[in-house]
Amino acid sequence: MSNPVVVEVVRGDRVESTHRGAGAVVDADGRVVLAFGDAERPIYPRSAVKALQALPLIESGAADKLGLTDAEIALACASHSGAEAHVALAAGMLAKAGRDAGALECGAHWPLGEAAARALARSGGRPSALHNNCSGKHAGFVCLACAGGLDPASYVSPDHPVQRAVTETLAEVTGTPLGEENRGIDGCSIPAYAIPLGALALGFARLATGRGLPPRRARAAERIRAAVAAHPAVVAGQGRFDTEVMTILGASAFTKTGAEGVFCAALPDLGLGLAVKADDGAGRAAQVMMAALLSRFGGFGAALDRFVAPPLVNWNGVVVGALRPAGALA
Amino acid sequence: MSNPVVVEVVRGDRVESTHRGAGAVVDADGRVVLAFGDAERPIYPRSAVKALQALPLIESGAADKLGLTDAEIALACASHSGAEAHVALAAGMLAKAGRDAGALECGAHWPLGEAAARALARSGGRPSALHNNCSGKHAGFVCLACAGGLDPASYVSPDHPVQRAVTETLAEVTGTPLGEENRGIDGCSIPAYAIPLGALALGFARLATGRGLPPRRARAAERIRAAVAAHPAVVAGQGRFDTEVMTILGASAFTKTGAEGVFCAALPDLGLGLAVKADDGAGRAAQVMMAALLSRFGGFGAALDRFVAPPLVNWNGVVVGALRPAGALA
């Protein structure tokens, strides 16, 4: 019932805060390499599965039909910082579909990246739906609809053909029935389906390898892997975990954050999928969990040390503590 | 060992995340009215004890000698949003001590309030130490030093007479020996001492009533209570918990947030002190815990409902879930 403490926050020589969590490392045949905590309880993966939700865009031929670039495909998988480059890519995708920002149904918010938010404020601007960290995923949905001759309106609804295709793909890749009974609504208004961490890890092992996927879908997975590896700065933004880690690891790892303390990753060289969730929804905990697993299973040596045990630095630049993996992850 | 789940985050009809925590409600005679989780383990109260750390400023006569206003005393107890009004108050305190922002040793950061941060960016400005959410507390330390004819330099050091006076007061009011063995360094560089939640609640019951304090200190506590009640917008900022709750409750409650999921409160009418900490350091959880306790013990009826069970609203304004108290706090 109670997941173990897997991350500690230390100040001085005292543990100030603790994070509990669960996770799974699985290969494409469903073999569980590691599991800790309750990896069978369904959790909302949130934005961590954007790459799986982007499969229909490629698999259907829509991306090729509209001439989407690798950077645009990477944006469809992104929780981006809302920097100018991200906004321009999203607008470009919509233009290729013959639409504009008015077609987006994600809502507007200030850029997730602090520097991007300040730059927008400094320029006297206001946030639009293009700045929403999910605008690439949503632009991808609009592209999928338009390339197929469908009206994109209400594409966030579970009953829209686009959402039905996305949900069906997510269900197949993770081997999890998805319906009204395990559905919530995400921050950007699309359905959020609850899926066990073990099933999410399996889905990412399949994304990593193409194994267990039909040929068209396996090729779509390969295209997505190449796109995100070529454009790590598109998937998140400067200074953020996914971008920094993928810049270091290149095509060896695709990592993706999700709200409420979720992280998923694909390790193509090793054929592994990873999924973790911090019980309390803390992103800082999920990052340490993911970094610890990547470090242990990825064979990346000391390259990820500053993510595994990030120091706590105060406003005068003094190191006053650190986060560190604990228990099963220590 | 394991604290109970006290706050749940619900999306759709599923619990998405959970927060564990501990807390205590104590009267000025040390009688424990309620305790849940481990209320005896020392925790860093962080900024939640700024009002106790401000007692020497009043008690010593420094505040009167320099002619500090109630708003300035409220700022000494604040984790402010860094809005223009906060910055002006901090600068005014320093001017009364014959100093300027160069005397502050808290470091600089972008305003804690998002609107204030954007306003500063929009004006082309950069954050200074005056924008640091602790600048009022630090300006108070500078005032305490200068009014006593001391050089304020290195006032953040545990050995500086100002810090020694502040630590001694905190130790006496909470009845907790404070020394090197339970000391860390805070975000603003002053010592952070670990104190059990039960002792913190006792300290706040004494702040609430003056009971158990020497006469000068009891009068200083009364002055602080009047100052924060008169200036709730100074203690935090627009839209933030402390400001909103104190605006509703007036002099009936003083609440104060601290980093890493801590909250303390004083209820003068009832003679109670409250202290809670979320294990994982989540501010959202600590807010719900505090609101639930205020609601139960304060007799405030439905006035705090939106803080006890705040809805989760997505970027399109759709209610997709809520936080809610659980277990001992349900």
Residue A262 has pLDDT above 90, yes or no: yes
Q: Which residues in chain A have their CB less than 8 angstroms from residue B317's CB?
A: 107
Cβ under 8 Å to A: B residues 112-151: 114, 117-119, 121-122, 124, 132
* Residue A17 to residue B261, Cβ atoms within 8 A: yes
The model's confidence at residue B298, banded by pLDDT at 50, 70 and 90, is: confident
Q: Which residues in chain B have their CB less than 8 angstroms from residue A106's CB?
A: 315-316
CA distance A195 to chain B (A): 12
Residue A1 has pLDDT above 80, yes or no: no
Q: Which residues in chain A have their CB less than 8 angstroms from residue B316's CB?
A: 105-107, 189
- Looking at chain A, which residue has its C-alpha nearest residue B22? A17
The model's confidence at residue A299, banded by pLDDT at 50, 70 and 90, is: confident
* Residue A187 to residue B315, Cβ atoms within 8 A: yes
**Axis-axis angle for helices A84-96, A114-122 (nearest 10):** 80
CB A147 within 8 A of CB A98: no
Number of H helices, E strands in chain A: 14, 12
> pLDDT tens digits for B80-129?
999 999 999 999 999 999 999 999 999 999 999 999 999 999 999 999 99
CA distance A12 to chain B (A): 4
| DSSP-derived 3-state class of residue B28 | coil
Beta bridge partners of B15: B10
Residue B323 has pLDDT above 80, yes or no: yes
**Residue A301 confidence (pLDDT):** 81
Residue B244 has pLDDT above 90, yes or no: yes
- The encoded tokens of residue B162 equal 């100002």
| Among candidates B42, B184, B321 on the partner chain, residue whose Cβ is nearest the Cβ of A320 | B184
Q: Which of A1, A126, A280, A319 to mutate to test the interface with B (most CBs of B within 10 A)?
A: A280
SS3 content of chain B, % helix, strand, coil (to 5): 45, 20, 35
The model's confidence at residue A125, banded by pLDDT at 50, 70 and 90, is: very high
Burial (CB count within 10 angstroms: exposed 0-12, middle 13-18, buried 19+), residue A78: buried
Residue B1 has pLDDT above 70, yes or no: no
Which residue has better confidence, B299 or A11? A11
CA–CA dist B219, B225 (Å, integer): 10
* Residue A323 phi, psi dihedral angles, 5° rounding: -95, 150
- Looking at chain B, which residue has its C-alpha nearest residue A156? B316
- What global pTM score does this model have? 0.97
Q: Which residues in chain A have their CB less than 8 angstroms from residue B118's CB?
A: 110, 117-118, 121
Q: Which of B38, B157, B316 to mutate to test the interface with A (most CBs of A within 10 A)?
A: B316
Complex prediction ipTM: 0.97
CA distance A64 to chain B (A): 31
CA–CA dist A128, B297 (Å, integer): 43
**Any alpha helices (H) in A111-264, and if so which ranges?**
114-122, 135-147, 161-174, 197-209, 215-230, 232-235, 241-249
Residue B299 has pLDDT above 90, yes or no: no
Q: Which of A9, A185, A312 to mutate to test the interface with B (most CBs of B within 10 A)?
A: A185
Residue A298 has pLDDT above 90, yes or no: no
Which whole-number Å values give the CA distances from B138 to B100, B126, B149, in the listed order? Answer: 12, 20, 17
State whether the Cα torsion A156-A160-A166-A169 is positive or negative.
positive
Q: Are strands A195-196 and B42-43 parallel, antiparallel or unpaired?
A: unpaired
The model's confidence at residue B31, banded by pLDDT at 50, 70 and 90, is: very high
Measured in whole angstroms, the distance separating CA B186 from the mean position of its chain's CA atoms is 14
The average pLDDT across A129-135 equals 98
Residue A101 has pLDDT above 80, yes or no: yes
> pLDDT tens digits for A307-316?
999 999 999 9
Q: Which residues in chain B have their CB less than 8 angstroms from residue A121's CB?
A: 117-119, 121-122
Q: Which residues in chain A have their CB less than 8 angstroms from residue B188's CB?
A: 314-315
* Residue B185 to residue A320, Cβ atoms within 8 A: yes
**Residue A123 confidence (pLDDT):** 95
* Residue B9 to residue A316, Cβ atoms within 8 A: no
Residue A18 contacts B where some CB pair is shorter than 8 Å: yes
Q: DSSP for B245-301?
A: HHHHHGGG-EEEEETTTEEEEEETTTTEEEEEEETT--HHHHHHHHHHHHHHHH--G
Burial (CB count within 10 angstroms: exposed 0-12, middle 13-18, buried 19+), residue B13: exposed
CA–CA dist A289, B180 (Å, integer): 32
**Residue B310 confidence (pLDDT):** 97
Residue A192 contacts B where some CB pair is shorter than 8 Å: yes
